[in-house]
């Protein structure tokens, strides 16, 4: 597979994951409303706050990539964690 096709496949997969992420939150809204007793008007705030937090972490990750290079933050982010968490910035952030 050529490099441009690989890049296109990676970008398409990333976009799919982003859309899937917000879709999961949207599908869960009726359950959130029922279980937590949120009024209908408050559900929009929930979606908005989720999207803002998600966007903020994307900006933080982009800045980390600018400062440390693309590979280092990616590798550090996805390393295995002792507590079983999938991703976590550990105490060695920014160190070799």
Q: Give the tens place of pLDDT for each residue, 11-25.
A: 898 889 888 888 888
Whether 94 is covered by a domain: the verdict is no
Whether 88 is covered by a domain: the verdict is no
Whether 92 is covered by a domain: the verdict is no
Task: Provide the whole-model pTM.
Answer: 0.61
Q: Give the tens place of pLDDT for each residue, 51-87.
A: 898 889 888 888 888 888 877 777 776 665 555 554 4
For the chain, the straight-line distance linking the first and the last C-alpha, in angstroms and rounded, comes to: 32
* pLDDT reported for residue 10: 84
Whether 36 is covered by a domain: the verdict is yes
Whether 39 is covered by a domain: the verdict is yes
Max avg pLDDT among 34-38, 54-58, 89-93: 34-38
* Domain ranges, residue 65: 3-77
CA torsion sign for 11, 16, 19, 21 is negative
* pLDDT reported for residue 4: 86
Domain total of the chain:
1
Whether 54 is covered by a domain: the verdict is yes
Whether 95 is covered by a domain: the verdict is no
Whether 29 is covered by a domain: the verdict is yes
């Amino acid at each position: 597979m050529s490099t441009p096709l690989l890049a296109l496949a990676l970008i398409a997969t990333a976009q799919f994951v982003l859309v899937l992420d917000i879709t999961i939150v949207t599908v869960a809204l009726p359950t959130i409303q029922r279980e937590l007793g949120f009024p209908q008007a408050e559900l929009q705030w929930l979606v908005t706050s989720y999207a803002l937090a998600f966007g903020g972490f994307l900006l933080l990750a982009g800045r980390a990539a600018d400062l440390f290079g693309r590979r280092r933050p990616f590798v550090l982010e996805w390393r295995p964690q002792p507590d079983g968490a999938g991703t976590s910035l550990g105490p060695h952030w920014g160190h070799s």
